[in-house]
Structure 1
């Protein structure tokens, strides 16, 4: 009896939310932290389906997840930690990390969900992203300055070559020019080292302060609970959003650094392309906006290919994520795969804003973004990484795009 009382006290005073449901998705218990997160009382949720705490489209998919898991044992959430979006009583939404465990007790199955609010981490990531953008602007300004210096030196050299009558001064000036050029090149090399050093620091050393920001945000949220201030929750949520955004940017920077230093090598394996694509689509559902949907079609009877699964997944996720960001909330994203005797083809098609013709030749350059992206978030690294991953698998990238008519990306890989 004493152990039961202790366990209840631990659950009631836990920082993170805890909700248990039966095998039909009906809520059986909820601790105070979870009630606080969703702004419901315990009496308002007990006996209700857990989907009431989810926005669309997750609300409509939830019962299907449980049914498929009970029937096949194939888990999409149960036993797997992942980030989701919750919906409060007032309709507002917030990000959280969910861990679900299956518990068999007294001849029945109960599912326990542990909920950690990520709102503050996201806000901190945004602030760090601004800092990284500022550093990148400084790098670009220095690059422009170096280019201007080199151009000026070349012009000086040309003028001196025309001054035949003053050969001594010309030779002296050319020597001086050569020294200045060597100094400029040395500065450019130092700038490259500085950028590489920044990438290394941003990808490794920033992770510790990011973790501290995330932990501090959680502690602030905990200590602010007695005040019940929506402003505190709002700003803590911004911190968590910022932390997540900056983490994504650091991951892109780290990917580029690994590519530049040759640390990324393709590891080929034989696998089922249709099943592989279906898993990616399931994972991407959480990223869809509004009533967006992904339509997948595999053509041909052949299903097995030989490629690097990790690199290929990253390529497909980059393209689908871009299609989601640059398309409307009612749009349909087309995902096609095809295998024949000679090659494997993957196509991602959307009906979004399209890419201006003048920008298309620069599309796979690092840090480049089309002029019509406006306030849509992005760092201009995704397609550059995609292009280099595709090269490592001996493939090629093609695309067609029209303004406000959408974009079609095609990845082609040889198959022996």
Structure 2
């Protein structure tokens, strides 16, 4: 009894449909899965011929399957693994795999049909066919497009080959012009700077605030032009690949103190640059000129974008892993929307207003730092200043 109950429970809960028919093809039992597939209740199909569940031509062939099976006792003729089509109550059809077994029960033959729904598999196959067909069309289109592109590339190659020589000549002319212009402008700028200093000196006995004010404007203008020339010259060297690293071992504290003293002369009224070093050692191996250029650029920006009566923090740190340079100000800061473009050449934040600049300084800093395997990072909030950090792995 327990075995019979277990068998019944298995049949009732089977995922596949199970139908039993007698020798005449009349349905004797049908499990819930089969009812769901064919959309019938057991009462609607039990006692009726199995052909009620078959669309043409399977309905006409059914009796032949039964007769052949009875004569040959060969199950595959009825359909082990055979793909057939079922007919639902609403008239729609669906594909399924049918396996039929003969069961001896109470002295008579009963035929059990096992029905595995193939609807999803067939839908997937159709989708695959559609995808394959679409892919073939795409491949054909892309092939034609590629052929056209190859022809265009061949044509472009010829044009590029002709223009490369001209581009090379133009590049050499640009390089020579930038170099010449930078050097030629330096001479009159130096003369203007010297003359302004002399005027300031000779005007001391008169104690004229107007003279000092205008001399200060001249010096600031000369400083701005010198910075612009230096930026363009540095960019030209970087673009031309003419920046060669020259590593040396030097005292970074001594360099920091020299830079602080030099940049303090450029600071605004009551702006103070505070330098501090962290670490038990101070000797590093880097390109001293490139590092100095990076630090001066960052401090110059801090001076430019901070107001009078402010502090600029300049720190160096040397530990076992890295050499770290930090410049912090409390100036205008950088808007969030502009921060992703900050290191691009010629980019300037939208809150810089009339503050002079080329937008090249930070681009040059990042490229110089990268040449020495360094990384540049920053943190900033509008009107709360900015903190820039350059870190170099210890050699």
Q: Indicate the residue corresponding to 2:230 in structure 1.
A: 251
Instruction: Quote the residue 2:241 is aligned against.
Output: 261
Of 292, 311, 315, the residue aligned with 1:332 is 311
Would the aligned equivalents of 1:266 and 1:393 in 2 still touch at CA under 8 Å?
Answer: no
Within the candidate set 327, 330, 333, 1:354 is matched to: 333
Structure 1 contact 300–340 (Cα < 8 Å) conserved: yes
Measured in 1, the distance between the counterparts of 2:248 and 2:308 equals 36
Q: Give CA-to-partner distance per residue, 1:114-139, whole Å, 9 cap, x none.
A: xxxxxxxxxxxxxxxxxxxxxxxxxx
Is 1:196 the counterpart of 2:180 in the alignment?
A: no
Relative to structure 1, the CA distance from residue 309 to residue 184 in structure 2 (aligned partners, 3 Å threshold; closer, same or farther) is: closer
Match of residue 375 from structure 1? 354
- SS of the equivalent of 1:379 reads coil
Q: Which one is further off, 195-204 or 334-343?
A: 195-204
Listed as ranges, the gaps of 5+ residues in structure 2 are 1-140, 201-208
Give the Cα separation in 2 of the matches to 1:249 and 1:193.
21
SS in 1 for 2:247: coil
2-structure distance, mates of 1:399, 1:309: 22
Structure of larger gyration radius: 2
Residues in 1 aligned to 2:357 and 2:315: alpha-carbon distance in whole angstroms: 25
Question: CA 1:357/1:201 → structure 2, altered by over 3 Å: closer, same or farther?
Answer: same
Deviation of residue 410 (structure 1)?
0.8
- State the Cα distance separating 1:414 from its structure 2 match: 1.2
Instruction: Tell me the distance in 2 between the aligned counterparts of 1:378 and 1:412.
Output: 25
With normalisation by structure 2, the TM-score equals 0.51
Higher-RCO chain (CA-CA 8 Å, sequence separation at least 6):
1
C-alpha distance in structure 1 between counterparts of 2:177 and 2:306, whole Å: 33
Matched, 1:407 2:383: no
Inter-partner Cα distance in structure 1 for 2:160 and 2:254: 56
CA RMSD of superposed structures (Å): 4.2
* Rounded Cα–Cα distance in structure 2 between residues aligned with 1:198 and 1:373: 30
Deviation at 1:236, TM superposition (A): 8.6
CA offsets per residue over residues 261-305 of structure 1, 9 Å max, x none?
32432322132x333322221222212212222233322323332
Alignment of 1:283 onto 2:262: yes
The correspondence for 2:273, drawn from 285, 294, 301, is: 294
Query: CA offsets, 1:41-74, max 9 Å, x none?
Result: xxxxxxxxxxxxxxxxxxxxxxxxxxxxxxxxxx
Unaligned runs of 5+ in 1: 1-157, 222-229
Hey, what's the Cα distance between the residues in 1 that align with 2:169 and 2:314? 44
Alignment of 1:306-321 (within 5 A): 306-321=285-300
The offset of 1:179, in angstroms, is 6.7
Distance 1:217 1:187, change over 3 A: farther
Aligned to 1:32: none
Partner-residue secondary structure (3-state), 1:287: coil
Change (3 A) 1:284 1:232: closer
Q: Supply the distance in 1 between the matched residues of 2:284 and 2:356 (Cα, whole angstroms).
A: 34
Tell me if the contact between 1:345 and 1:410 (Cα under 8 Å) persists in the aligned partners: yes
Distance of aligned partners of 1:181 and 1:405 in 2 relative to their CA distance in 1, 3 Å threshold: same
What is the rounded CA distance, in whole Å, between the counterparts of 2:165 and 2:361 in structure 1?
Answer: 30
**Is contact 1:266-1:392 (8 Å) kept?**
no
TM-score by length of 1: 0.48
Which deviations, in whole Å up to 9, do the C-alpha atoms of 1:346-368 show, x marking residues without a partner? Answer: 11111211122232232222222
8 Å contact from structure 2 (residues 224, 356) kept in 1: no
Structure-2 change in CA distance of 1:268 and 1:212 (3 Å): closer
**SS at structure 2 position matched to 1:268:** strand
Which is further off, 206-215 or 378-387? Answer: 206-215
